[in-house]
Structure 1
């Protein structure tokens, strides 16, 4: 454990699985809230959403809505048709580029796929001003991932005046709210005209939220601003994270051709010949591919530091922590600690063979999606998109670097934001299955 003084903020970094377990399990209720910062207050719309909301009745009710309504079995079934459709569009674009022997910007394609899957889930398709919304979302997430002066000196008027990033974030978030408010009004007008979902079975996530807006059982008003905040959480949690993990998965596989071949061999053997779009229901026996995904998550965590805040005085690893102390859970360090991982810097999916290590939050040396009360509620949603996309990419195509470059030459440097992505876009050549010998 390490104490840091970040401006006016007292922070403690925990970097061992034992300390992580004490924060996320033993003292989970004590650390069930997020540190409140001025920029997070902007992105969380004053605590109206889920991700940045402080622990309390509002957060509990919103998380319940997320799990019971937004991620219900009914919505999961809806997604079973959405993902194959969007993956099919992706494969068609790749096939066109492959026929022309053009390189493909995998980073761009993975982010586009993630955005479209979430748009389908939330709105039933692409929505007006989607590109502008995604652009402003990128601005907000980039600013959130950095250090803003007002977050370090929250009591300082000078720091507030000098925090251009916070003002830029507020401007972008305001634009996002206006875009979603317009979509909500359009949907309400369609419902009033009898052109909405015919039953709850046909509802997209926006329909669910609008239905709950008229439900008095929540215990608080679900305003348009609250809906905007929830949709921000869904887009930021599901698009940026999923797209980033997919680009890292393809990066690691291209850099390790023997691993990619092994994964492709399993997928093609299990699924047989002449498949078109692989669905999530087809993926039950792809054990090695799932090991690949786990290893990608170990090396390329969606969020290398997970923030929590002490709601009361407590003790962690013999150290007394005061109420209000910010805790930074260094999952990056834990996931590369040789105490828990043999050859921690190496990409070795086989390390997950014949063990029960999973990312469900019960193994504290491997918590890419967090654990406890604040664990990511959309974890299974994101994992399903990861699996179906990667399976289709490896089943239908072989992949090489442009210009015959060697796998070892691939730049793996990182850039930091809300998630840690590649510093440069991943460009690859796709070769339709069975054609590599002719290239």
Structure 2
């Protein structure tokens, strides 16, 4: 018993010492700053020691930040624990950062200080790489080879096959009268497409491979999300107080072993055909491994570069597309007149019982495009866009020092009442007509890339805009068209439908559980 008391006292002493040290460091920094050149910071809410402004934030982070911005301005300083971050909440300031000072803010950052210690691919990222030689090389590779229009066209049969599998699964649920978790169905669907595009030949050899990858990547995402809470500890997060770092390392090594096996199989296959390469359709793995083997390449890729790149496209390409489609169906279920109008457009241009909507039909379906545009306005891909300042600069008259972290709240920008009529309402018509019923300007000419005034940022903007936007749009538009064409939807728990966005990415906390009723059986098309 005495031993237990001594142990408890010891840990209390450690905890108290740590808090005292943090408070002294904060006081020291504040005192030193007062003697230095005066820095003009943007407005900031009153903060608490250690936790900063965390007490003012909820799991609905984009919405919480939007509320704070209404009180403290479109550029404000928020402290996530010990980490200061500048938050941008209006189009004018976003334009300053993403266009006028784009090069100064062209780098991104990882959300947790200590994550690098537990990331076996630290320093090999493309998505969060500093703006430099490696990032420019990979961006060029993505835009010219990996996700170019010609490459996407080559994969159309993959998208068609996986879409038909999804529709057949939903028809089966309809026949059985069973509810489905549509979000999970769409996640599996998106994962299968990404896996087949990325490592298609390996998927043909092992049909269970997409499921294996989805499982191991899901474990990494889960542990990384938990670890990001360490941000509250600032530089001390490297000590892994919550014990999630080791779990993250373990999950990542499992992924690494799986990818290493796939890369070795590629090398063995090339060797078997005397190094001439595979004459068949090239997937992303083929292109990256060719670059890895190319001694004349302008930049030498390593195996870790390739593994990290695949991990990032599995992260970004699966959940973002699935979330966008789930958001669209959620809005349509809650707005039956819009649903009916969209179905009528499909029936008029495609037919009601002769064939499925195709990707080639989308240009002739303007209301479908408007529905997806409006969905991405209310539920953008990545609600909070991270940037890092590379040089000392000024934004809106405030000092932004080199190394400062920025969050651009796309959620707040695309719900700004100064830019949008009835900003919180689902109104696809705003993208079709020039004036609203109240005479306010609408946005009929906006495409999915956004506008020059930065009121619409569904996929970001500037140098760090989403490289996979074209793929995501192709999948989302045609799939939503087919889901509306083929099914009616009834919610399992109408009072539990989730329209709020959580975290940095804008995911939804509750699943979309609903009953599909088949109107047009795609197996008979």
TM-score of the alignment, normalized to the shorter chain, above 0.5: yes
Matched, 1:425 2:511: yes
Question: Alpha-carbon deviation of 1:384?
Answer: 0.5
Once the two structures are TM-superposed, the CA of residue 47 in structure 1 deviates from its matched residue by 3.0
**Shift of the alpha carbon at 1:357?**
2.0
Work out whether residues 498 and 512 of structure 2, in 8 Å CA contact, stay in contact via their aligned partners in 1: no
Equivalent residues of 2:383, 2:504 under 8 A apart? no
* Residue number among 465, 479, 482 corresponding to 1:389 in the alignment: 479
Secondary structure of the corresponding residue to residue 407 of structure 2: strand
Q: Is 1:81 aligned to residue 174 of structure 2?
A: no
Question: TM-score under structure 2 normalisation?
Answer: 0.77
> 2:192·2:210 contact (CA, 8 Å) conserved in 1?
no
1:15 maps to 2:67: no
Please, which moves more after superposition, 352-361 or 339-348?
A: 352-361
* Aligned 1:147-296 pairs, distance under 5 A: 148=228, 150-156=230-236, 160-194=239-273, 198-199=278-279, 202-296=281-375
Deviations 1:355-386 (A, max 9, x none): 21233143411112110000011101111010
Cα 1:41–1:210 change in 2 (3 A) is: farther
Task: Indicate how the Cα distance of structure 1 residues 48 and 286 shifts in structure 2: closer, same or farther if over 3 A, else same.
Answer: same
Which residue does 2:130 correspond to in 1? 54
1:412 to partner: Cα distance: 1.6
Give the corresponding residue for 1:368: 458
> Please, which runs of 5 or more residues in structure 2 have no aligned partner?
1-74, 434-443
C-alpha contact (below 8 Å) 1:358/1:366 kept by paired residues: no
Secondary structure of the equivalent of 2:244?
A: helix
Aligned residue number for residue 377 of structure 1? 467
Aligned with residue 106 of structure 2, among 32, 35, 43: 32
TM-score, normalised via structure 1 length:
0.91
Distance in 2, matches of 1:41 and 1:161, equals 10
2:445 is the counterpart of 1:356: yes
Q: 1:159 to 1:122 in 2, by over 3 A?
A: closer
Cα distance per residue 1:27-52 (max 9 Å; x no partner): 00000001244326756922323111
Q: How far apart, CA to CA, are the structure 2 residues paired with 1:100 and 1:301?
A: 34
What is the alpha-carbon distance in structure 1 between the residues aligned to residue 106 and residue 118 of structure 2?
20
* Residue 107 (structure 1) shift: 0.9
Say whether the 8 Å CA contact 1:146–1:417 is kept in structure 2. no
Distance 2:352 2:331 in 1: 26
Counterpart contact for 2:159–2:193, Cα < 8 Å: yes
Q: CA RMSD in A?
A: 2.4
What is the number of residues matched between the two proteins?
429
Is the contact made by 1:240 and 1:419 (CA closer than 8 Å) also made in structure 2?
Answer: no
Label 1:29 to 1:399 Cα distance change in 2 as closer, same or farther (>3 A): same
User: Partner of 1:337 in structure 2?
Assistant: 416
Task: Judge conservation of contact 2:346–2:352 (CA < 8 Å) in 1.
Answer: no
Match of 2:67 in 1: none
1:300: how far off? 1.4
Q: Secondary structure at the match of 2:507?
A: strand
Residues of 1 paired with 2:309 and 2:490: CA distance?
39
- Rounded to whole Å, the distance in 1 between the matches of 2:132 and 2:232 is 25
Residue 92 of structure 1 pairs with residue 168 of structure 2: yes
Q: Which has the higher contact order (CA 8 A, sep 6+)?
A: 1
TM-superposed CA distance for 1:198, in Å, is 3.6
